[in-house]
Structure 1
């Protein structure tokens, strides 16, 4: 798993972990998936906190047995094999023949229980998902699998009954609820703690649109602007200066 600070987009300093409904639900779901040694799909549009929530939950529930893969666009089974080889830090050189490679991976994945996290799963097609099913179905392996990706991974999985039937939990990530934005954002970063609540609502409506990633970008720009102006207060003028940087209103 990556360092906790790496979870925050742009490495935002002073950002805090906020116990949102989505984060708490993710922890409950992953706990259930680990208990059942099953597969889960966390999906939704970009910037809604899927990777963040999954990483945060696994640091609590499976800190020493979780392995995260990041795959290139359009990954093949070969890419997944090599991704697992790297994530598991296996010694030597990867086997050249697929049969030998699969036997190696299955042997390693049978030695102890592990949670395998496939991030950016929206890039995978049917063949790649089928390869994960092949590993999980094998009687030797002792694994749980968490897919985290955009809507496309949900669509691909739902089109294939054999894959769909093996997903134990589906969790959709959506925008931050408007009714909770003030509370969440003031807890998320200290620069918002003294900001006018109405201004927070306006920033969400104008530019953030319920996306944590958008809020991180806005906050980072605001920190730069506040430093230049030697102020500790978020103002409407500063917010409009940020909009000029990000293309907001």
Structure 2
């Protein structure tokens, strides 16, 4: 599949984990199972949902993994790193949906083309939704409200996502479910991390506890960073298992506050 053909599609599974950490596994955390259930219900109802939370809590991984199981062919992703205009949003949807020909010059023709394309079931993931403007939210609501479209919209985002969507009453009233992803509690860390990567499978549970309390703090991305450093450290030192010295060496690679 070419780059253009992949535009807007779900990323490869190898991209789920930080820096494509080799050997990392998707673990069925409570948050991931809740995300999957909320998305399943939203697809059945052709509704809007919002999955939000602080950076590194596994939002993208949970959403992508769930959609690979639930609607891999119907899902398209759009993402912005700065505030888009409505014409920019139209164009992004045009490419993400794989529409043929050239984008129409007239807005009314463009809108008709998108509405007709959305008469088939589609799941559109709006990643980093906090960057969308009021006009963009109104445009998505306009497409979703159309009686003939069969559109599920999943808003995801980090800091500010919840506040941004809540500040748009016409949109907020249409959101079917809200889910905030929180950091893992220590009890969950103890069960999840040994299944996350082989280097933790036989690690001393007290080391896992120490790592979480001193450095990872229940943040999955931080756990992935530490694991990445430890994999390198094990290769360089020739050690077979993680010990306290190697673990604390991996901490030195992280920014401290």
TM-score (norm 2): 0.92
1:8 aligns to 2:14 (yes or no): no
1:239 aligns to 2:242 (yes or no): no
1:159 aligns to 2:149 (yes or no): no
Q: Which runs of 5+ in 2 are unaligned?
A: 1-9
What is the DSSP-based 3-state SS (H/G/I as helix, E as strand, rest coil) of the residue aligned with 1:53? helix
1:49 aligns to 2:55 (yes or no): no
Q: CA deviation at 1:119?
A: 1.0
1:59 maps to 68
Q: How does 1:143-154 map to 2 (within 5 A)?
A: 143-154=151-162
Between the aligned partners of 2:27 and 2:145, the Cα distance in structure 1 is 36
Between 1:77-86 and 1:166-175, the stretch displaced more is: 77-86
1:221 maps to 229
Between the aligned partners of 2:33 and 2:199, the Cα distance in structure 1 is 24
What is the DSSP-based 3-state SS (H/G/I as helix, E as strand, rest coil) of the residue aligned with 1:93? coil
Between the aligned partners of 2:77 and 2:138, the Cα distance in structure 1 is 18
2:211 maps to 203
User: What is the CA deviation profile of residues 33-77 of structure 1, one whole-angstrom value per residue up to 9, with x for unaligned ones?
Assistant: 011100000011111111111111111111211111122321222
1:124 aligns to 2:107 (yes or no): no
1:192 pairs with one of 197, 200, 211: 200
1:169 maps to 177
Aligned-residue RMSD, C-alpha: 1.4
Q: CA deviation at 1:226?
A: 0.6
1:103 aligns to 2:112 (yes or no): yes
2:4 maps to none
CA contact (8 A) 1:71 1:79 kept: no
Q: How does 1:16-95 map to 2 (within 5 A)?
A: 16-95=25-104
Aligned length: 248
Q: CA deviation at 1:241?
A: 1.6
Between the aligned partners of 2:160 and 2:37, the Cα distance in structure 1 is 24
CA contact (8 A) 2:130 2:165 kept: no
Q: CA deviation at 1:122?
A: 2.0
Between 1:25-34 and 1:204-213, the stretch displaced more is: 204-213
User: What is the CA deviation profile of residues 82-103 of structure 1, one whole-angstrom value per residue up to 9, with x for unaligned ones?
Assistant: 2111211222222233222222
TM-score (norm 1): 0.95
CA contact (8 A) 1:124 1:153 kept: no
What is the DSSP-based 3-state SS (H/G/I as helix, E as strand, rest coil) of the residue aligned with 1:144? strand
Q: Which runs of 5+ in 1 are unaligned?
A: none
